[in-house]
Amino acid sequence: MKIAKYISIFVLISAICVLMVLAIINVPKQKCESIKITPHTQNECVILSPEDLKQMMADAHIEVIGQKMKEVDLEPISNLLKKSPYVEKVNFIHFANNKLLIDYTLKDIVLRVFNNKGEQYFVDSKGRLLPYTKKMTDYLPVANGNISQSYKPSATIGKDLQSIFTISQEINKDEFCKAQFQQFYLNDLKQVELVSSIGRHIILFGDEKNAAEKLQKLKHVYRDGLTHLGFERYAQLDVRFKNRVIAQKKQQGL
């Protein structure tokens, strides 16, 4: 009985060794059968989709499917992603079985800018300028008015946009404010005005100093004042001064 047991164990180990050797021999011959591309984004829109990347690879004459995996150079794919202004990070590119896995993270786009030259571009959550593309279909906060900065590759926000960017980041921390204030206007005095989604009044906000305090004042005015008095009662709200809100009534007949 013991001899039979030892023989069975020997046969099993031999079979495993044979399979391992065959697998090692066949690895160089294995070909890629498919590609799985996984983008990660904070936006609703995937600005660089799997289809976009596949087209970029085709344009660059990078062939993977049907190729021997051992002979595929993955660095050109990584370089394509790194050159895209919308890619934050390439997480990994590697083969699993007969499939190529590509995983990357996109930049978080938070602002759409219209400058005083009629140009458009985006700003991400780190204050970096990104080129405009129709592929971005999210409804984003808008900045316009006397903004002179143009888009340049690898540029970050300048003086004109600094106040707007900081105020918008503060607004994003509060769901009520986020729902009310989605448009920023830089006037000729380089002061920020907010355009409310309710009513037809202008809010003189000034610069980014004490932004959180100014927003809290606006919340109180909206919830405790305008809710009862009416959102069409005033033409302008001024929150630039500490501990007070100056409200300018609409002229009769306007």
Could you list the mean pLDDT of each consecutive 10-residue stretch along the chain, which spans 254 residues?
A: 55 52 54 96 96 96 94 96 97 95 98 97 98 95 96 94 96 90 94 84 90 89 63 75 76 54
Pairing mode, strands 109-114 and 120-124: antiparallel
Indicate the domain borders of the chain. Answer: 30-106, 109-249
- Residues 215, 207 contacting (CB under 8 angstroms): no
The reported pLDDT for the residue numbered 150 is 97
7: number of Cβ within 10 Å: 10
The reported pLDDT for the residue numbered 14 is 55
- Tell me which CATH homologous superfamily contains domain 109-249: Cell division protein FtsQ/DivIB (3.40.50.11690)
Same fold for the pair 30-106 and 109-249:
no
The reported pLDDT for the residue numbered 235 is 72
CATH number corresponding to 30-106: 3.10.20
